[in-house]
Amino acid sequence: MTAIPQGRIRRRVALVGAVCALAVTGTGLTGCSEEDPNAGTNGVGRLPAAKIQSETRAAAGAADAVRLSGTVVAGGRSYQLDMRLKADGGTGSLTAQGATFELLRIGDELFLKADAAFWDQEDGKAESGEDGDAAAAADKLGGKYVKVPQGDPAYQRFSGFTDKDVLLEGLLTLHGKLATDGHHEQAGVRTIRITGDKGSGGTLDVSLQGKPYPLRLVRGGNAGTLSFSDWGEDFALKQPPKDETVDYGQQLPTT
């Protein structure tokens, strides 16, 4: 057997390495072994984009709980939210038009907690309370859990932010032609990204580890960015203490 000179072997190894490098950079050359980006994952990265969207919506809908945080633009208004949601309610904070307040929903009961300035912000006045004194009414409500009447416009406006199914149904839909946009990572978790109309209809990162939960959503039309976490992690929803609760009646003060 004729021995091959070591120098020739090294040159051949170098040549193979160069060819593989070209293949990785997208020159179209094949035949080199590459690591499968879906190896060891839940496999959704191998699916078409429409199927990935279907799988992640199903996983989200079946989860008992979720935390979502970020910004949503709706109805011409921008909302900064940090909410924990489950089937029978939700709790967290919401910032809108420079005012931050807390929301708590347990079943059909919705409570709003804010400082006195929140209740006294319309032209510096709040709708009068029982004693007709606007400042006193604001002070009475400030720092308390105010029960929101179901017939009040605020109930319809804010209860959706505490409803897991309603909120996710409205958010987890990309618009336009769906496509995959490579493998990424969110908070240390490997993801597959799908897009609507090359991103103009939104982008969604879906977990490749465990269940295919959505992890990050960039809404189309600059309508906000949201992160999803704590999937399936239960949390307590407790009625606020009676001495910290105010039942304002049929309609809240105008805010």
DSSP string, 133-194: -HHHHHHHHTTSEEEPPTTSHHHHHHHGGG-HHHHHHHHS---SSEEEEEEEEETTEEEEEE
Cα(128)–Cα(126) distance, integer angstroms: 6
SS3 content of the chain, % helix, strand, coil (to 5): 30, 30, 40
Helix (H, G, I), strand (E, B) or coil at 122: strand
| Cα 228 from Cα 65, distance rounded (Å) | 11
pLDDT of residue 139: 81
Supply the pLDDT for residue 35. Answer: 83
> Rounded distance, CA 134 to CA 255, Å?
12
SS3 state of residue 8: helix
Query: Scanning the structure block, which residue is given the tokens 């799908």?
Result: 194
pLDDT at site 133: 58
pLDDT given at position 252: 58
Distance CA 173, CA 53 (A): 8
What pLDDT does residue 88 have? 94
What's the pLDDT score for residue 251? 55
Per-residue pLDDT of the chain (255 residues; tens, 9 = 90+): 545 555 554 554 444 444 344 344 444 444 455 688 999 999 999 999 999 999 999 999 999 999 999 999 988 889 999 999 999 999 999 998 889 999 999 999 999 999 988 887 643 444 444 445 567 777 888 999 999 998 888 898 899 999 999 999 989 999 999 999 999 999 999 999 999 999 999 999 999 999 999 999 999 999 999 999 999 999 999 999 999 999 866 555 554
Residue 22: predicted pLDDT: 39
Edge-first strand listing for the sheet containing 203-207: 178-186, 189-196, 203-207, 214-218, 225-229, 65-74, 77-86, 89-96, 99-106, 109-113, 145-147, 245-247
For 63, counting Cβ atoms within 10 Å of its Cβ (0-12 exposed, 13-18 middle, 19+ buried), the class is buried
Q: Which domains does the chain have, with CATH numbers?
A: 47-247 (2.50.20.20)
